[in-house]
Amino acid sequence: MREQLPFGLDDVKRWNGTYPTPFYVYDAEGIRNCVRELYDAFSWNEGFKEYFAVKATPTPGVLRLLASLGCGADCASIPELLLAECSGISGSSIILSSNETLPEEYRAAAKLGAIINLDDITQIEHMEAACGIPETVCCRYNPGQFSNTNGIMGHQYDSKFGMKPDQLLEAYAELRNKGVKHFGLHAMLSSCSLDENYYPNLARELFTLVLRIHKVLGIDIEFVDFSGGIGIPYRPEEKAIDMMKIGAAVHIVYDELLTANGLSVRIYTEMGRYITGPYGYLVTRVVGKKHIYKEYVGVDATACNLMRPAMYEAYHHIRVLGKETEPAEITVDVVGSLCENNDKFAVNRGLPLTDIGDYLVIEDAGAHGHSMGYNYNGKLRSAELLMETDGSVSCIRRAQTPEDYFSTLDVDTAFTAAKAESII
């Protein structure tokens, strides 16, 4: 959660005049500042680039903003590649980081001139059959055991991603023999990490490997992709990481392992959560209050709008707009209307006394929020708004309509449209 919301009750009331709740709103300035700081933190590294993980917030209104700040896109499907393209991100500013990649996905990436990140050594022949051998190829690494200077930090034995060290070396040798000219190295060994040592430790692991690849194969890796995995403080007691500190710590490892050995690489990241997570909010209204064995506050959003609490029991801070200074003295479950008992945005949460009609703001929903949405129970997906510093919003995704819902079904859409019209 952020210390302060960038908007207030009056703003939300105004927006709600045009856009029904629930809706998402993203703080453009928050995202801008975050990206600028990231680039600052790695300004010592020539060619540093953030390839935003499109799956986090696959909305062109946000992707265009990121493109204007110099970001590329990390994609894992053809629609995500198209989202990047239509947001002004093209060529080597796109990386296809997928696994079990299909021939048509390789072909699409190659046609766009995107960087292909291979998840497995067996994918070399799949890629070659689909689109030939590109000049630039990246390989994804799985160290099995992720160790650092303080000992073992975690293991990756049950992770489906990446290649074992020996396979990775074999893959680079094979790719070179097939004519690849430029090489990258990629690894994602954590998720939602608030440990400021994660990137420096990852850097040590990967730069050591760069050195080994140089010594054993005579191949110079040109870019190292740290991927995503940096967390955000969802809970009030958690502390945001200091990106400047992380950049400086990675710099030290870089100089020690690479510069000292006459090597250099461009550092890439593929962060999603860190870039947009704290700057997106789900705004919903209280529609019911229920007192049975527990106290329930019912809202017009459901897990279809934000799945993380239902899926991961994830904590999202909730504020009652206009009641920020009132004591959080009532313990409630904040629930949606799905016919599923896990459709709860909060369980046993202290909130100020709410009334029907109150606006609740569910925080830190800017990444893996709307994008994980679904249509269970025939619930429609909400609009997404982008807020500028003057408090104005633009609609970057309209809300789904019943017509959208029926558009892929084998029904008479004219009939359903007329019916919808007559009953809504």
Ligand X SMILES: *Cc1c(COP(=O)(O)O)cnc(C)c1O
Sites of contact with ligand X (CB under 6 A): 53, 55-56, 74, 97, 188, 191-192, 227-230, 270-274, 367
Q: How far is the CB of 234 from ligand X (least distance, A)?
A: 12
Rounded to whole angstroms, how far apart are CA atoms 69 and 9?
30
Q: How far is the CB of 220 from ligand X (least distance, A)?
A: 23
Rounded to whole angstroms, how far apart are CA atoms 166 and 298?
54
Q: How far is the CB of 53 from ligand X (least distance, A)?
A: 3
The angle at the Cα of 37, spanning 248 to 229, to the nearest 5 degrees, equals 75
Contact by Cβ (8 Å): 296, 332: yes
Rounded to whole angstroms, how far apart are CA atoms 195 and 16?
38
Q: How far is the CB of 192 from ligand X (least distance, A)?
A: 6
Spell 259-292 as b/e; 16+ CB within 10 A means b: eeeeeebbbbbbbbbbbbbbbbbbbbbbbeeeee
Contact by Cβ (8 Å): 99, 160: yes
Q: Which is nearer to ligand X, 250 or 393 (CB)?
A: 250
Within 10 A of 237 (CB to CB), how many other CB atoms are there?
6
Q: Which is nearer to ligand X, 19 or 52 (CB)?
A: 52
Residue of closest CB approach to ligand X? 228
Q: Which is nearer to ligand X, 203 or 321 (CB)?
A: 203
Residue 60 identity: P
Spell 294-323 as b/e; 16+ CB within 10 A means b: eebbbbbbbbbbbbbbbeeebbbbbbbbeb
Contact by Cβ (8 Å): 389, 29: yes
Q: Which is nearer to ligand X, 154 or 352 (CB)?
A: 154
Q: Which is nearer to ligand X, 72 or 272 (CB)?
A: 272
Q: Which is nearer to ligand X, 67 or 321 (CB)?
A: 67
If you search the block for the tokens 């200077």, which residue do you land on? 149
Q: How far is the CB of 44 from ligand X (least distance, A)?
A: 22
Q: Which is nearer to ligand X, 186 or 344 (CB)?
A: 186
Q: How far is the CB of 162 from ligand X (least distance, A)?
A: 10
Q: What is the DSSP letter of 4?
A: S
If you search the block for the tokens 């809706």, which residue do you land on? 23
Q: How far is the CB of 238 from ligand X (least distance, A)?
A: 15
The angle at the Cα of 17, spanning 32 to 307, to the nearest 5 degrees, equals 60
Q: Which is nearer to ligand X, 97 or 123 (CB)?
A: 97
Rounded to whole angstroms, how far apart are CA atoms 202 and 185?
12
Contact by Cβ (8 Å): 70, 278: no
Rounded to whole angstroms, how far apart are CA atoms 103 and 140?
18
Picking from 138, 187, 141, the residue whose alpha carbon sits closest to that of residue 165 is 141
Q: Which is nearer to ligand X, 275 or 299 (CB)?
A: 275
Q: Which is nearer to ligand X, 77 or 416 (CB)?
A: 77
Q: How far is the CB of 364 from ligand X (least distance, A)?
A: 12
Q: How far is the CB of 106 from ligand X (least distance, A)?
A: 16
Contact by Cβ (8 Å): 204, 191: no
Spell 104-128 as b/e; 16+ CB within 10 A means b: ebbebbbebebbbbbbbbebbebbe
Q: How far is the CB of 314 from ligand X (least distance, A)?
A: 13
